[in-house]
Amino acid sequence: MKKRTILLIIAVLGLFPSLVLGSHDGSFGSLPVSQTSVFLSSGQSTSITSYPPSSSAVNVFYISNTMVVSASMNGAILNLTGQNSGTAVIRICTSDLHCAEINVTVGGGFVGSISFSPSSLTLNAGSNSSVSVFNSTGQSLYVSANSNSSIASVSLSSTTLFVSGLNAGFTNVTICAQNSSVCGSVGITVNPRVNPVTLGQTNVSLAVGQSASVGIFGSGPFYLGSNTNPSAVSVYVFGSSLNLYGSAVGASTVSVCSSNASPCASAFVNVGSSGTGNLYFITTALNPAPVGNFYSAQLLVSGNPPFSFSINSGSLPSGTTLSSSGLISGTPSTAGSFTFTVRVQDALSRTAFQTFTLQTAGSVLGGLIYNNGTLINDGGTVWITYKNQKSGFANMSAFLGLGYKTSNVINASTASLTNSGYVITNASVTHPWGSWVKSGNTIYFAHQDGLIPVSHYEIFRNNGGSDNMVVAANSWDLARPILPLMNSNDPRLRP
């Protein structure tokens, strides 16, 4: 009789658990929770925090309809997921019977949307940008598709989509919510790579009455952005030259901008008193002059202006001249080493002399300052060269991950190279333009239009290749178009 009574009590407790557990405000004590009413859609999840006394363990003791909602405890956190339309009551309790009831209503289908700001994105190849993702689904997001990953690479962090432009073109990126069919798409247009604006000098010292010309590099046309002290420095931009004139003692920051690129480049200009000090050359060395490319270098001196410059002995490279104001300019047509002495005379009829050696590199066909694929350490940054441009490595993992070796890096100046603006941030990309890559027994040159296969070793050496430049090709390289075979002195490898 006693056994049958116990079984009956158990059965009754199973049918009417509230007789034992009580409600959240029952006689056994209430369990505080962050909310007692929840509205969900099918597939949507949420969490409710409980606050048990003395950190007691909390468990799910009762779900009135498991077809409507699923529930589980993670410490003091109740995790809920809507299953099907309907209502349900969930009771959670501590071991000493402090309880709470949560009323759950689940709607018929998943609601919410995914949108973007901006709704479409345009950026240049080699640059980075981001898109804000607005998510009203209540679920976590993931990148579902990138229609053309060779155009742009993307990554999602919370509600921000980070975009890196790789090549010119268009791609469509789709973002979806977990456990649902809700998605949104953003179109990304990548424009061709543009070179940022750089200046041949960023610190210029002038005397009152002295002029100087600084080379401008990048994608023009260029224009004067600002001159913070026009009373001290007169400035004008002509073509690819920033022309400066010291009007009065003082200092100014001058910026030059491009209609096709940003940000601007700046130079600090200091104008000192003309005085009656010694006459001497401030400029004592010249950067190399690439054959076939326009070159300019302003000779600076200290003394009493105006100054008059002339060649005293030797000769400049053919195609270049020295103006009476001390500007060496022109387009060298012959490779070689040219030594000459410049004479300067100031307003007090004093004279000074300076001997220069100007190196002209490359051939009339090419005009390369460094061979394509040369790795250069300049002031702690490693660059790879391509057609007199340079691209930097962001970190050592990207450098080593692409197969390059620190033993092949030379220490040299890259001041005469134009910064391409492209930064190599990781190894999950094609090798940068100018690289020599090998697959099987074939060496390829990484050209902007694809891979140029090398037919034999003499052609490889003829075009500036060397064994220590070659690295293993990866899958991203081999997905690019294969171009016609490389020729001797191949013009495709020249500026």
pLDDT tens-digit series, residues 361-415: 654 445 677 889 999 998 888 999 998 899 999 888 899 999 999 888 888 888 8
Q: Is the pLDDT of residue 154 over 80?
A: yes
Q: Is the pLDDT of residue 322 over 90?
A: yes
Q: Is the pLDDT of residue 483 over 50?
A: yes
Please report whether residue 6 resides in a domain. Answer: no
Q: Are 374 and 390 spatial neighbours (Cβ–Cβ below 8 Å)?
A: no
Domain boundary among 222, 247, 274: 274
Please report whether residue 304 resides in a domain. Answer: yes
SS3 of residue 391 by DSSP = strand
CB count in 10 Å sphere of residue 367: 22
- Total domains in the chain come to 5
Please report whether residue 12 resides in a domain. Answer: no
- Residues 99 and 122 both lie in one domain: no
Enter the pTM of the model.
0.33
Q: Are 408 and 468 spatial neighbours (Cβ–Cβ below 8 Å)?
A: yes
Q: Are 185 and 172 spatial neighbours (Cβ–Cβ below 8 Å)?
A: yes
Instruction: Name the more confident of 417 and 4.
Output: 417
- Residues 283 and 359 both lie in one domain: yes
Please report whether residue 239 resides in a domain. Answer: yes
Quote the domain boundaries for residue 352. 277-367
- Outline where DSSP puts E strands in 282-326: 289-290, 295-298, 301-302, 308-314, 320-322
The whole-number average pLDDT for the span 7-34 is: 50
Q: What is the spatial distance between Cα 200 and Cα 287, in angstroms, rounded to a whole number?
A: 10
Q: Which residues contact 281 (CB under 8 A, 6 or more apart)?
A: 299, 300, 301, 342, 344, 352, 354
Dig out the tokens for 167 from the structure.
Answer: 């090549």
Instruction: Give the end-to-end CA distance of the chain in Å, rounded to a whole number.
Output: 103
Q: Is the pLDDT of residue 134 over 80?
A: yes
- Residues 270 and 307 both lie in one domain: no
pLDDT given at position 15: 42
> What is the CATH number for 39?
2.60.40.1080
Give the model confidence (pLDDT) of 228-241 as tens digits: 999 889 898 887 88
Q: Is the pLDDT of residue 478 over 60?
A: yes
Give the model confidence (pLDDT) of 49-86 as tens digits: 888 887 788 999 889 998 889 999 988 889 988 888 88
CB count in 10 Å sphere of residue 100: 23
Dig out the tokens for 492 from the structure.
Answer: 């495709």
- Residues 102 and 131 both lie in one domain: no
Dig out the tokens for 192 from the structure.
Answer: 């061709």
Tell whether omega for the bond before 221 is within 30 degrees of 0, i.e. cis: yes
Instruction: Name the more confident of 198 and 452.
Output: 452
CB count in 10 Å sphere of residue 385: 25
Q: What is the spatial distance between Cα 448 and Cα 93, in angstroms, rounded to a whole number?
A: 66
pLDDT given at position 111: 58
Tell whether omega for the bond before 263 is within 30 degrees of 0, i.e. cis: yes
- Residues 255 and 216 both lie in one domain: yes
Give the model confidence (pLDDT) of 249-297 as tens digits: 888 999 998 876 667 889 998 887 655 457 788 888 887 777 666 778 8
Buried b (16+ CB within 10 A) or exposed e, 259-293: ebbeebbbbebebbebeeeebebebeeeebbbbbb
- Residues 154 and 241 both lie in one domain: no
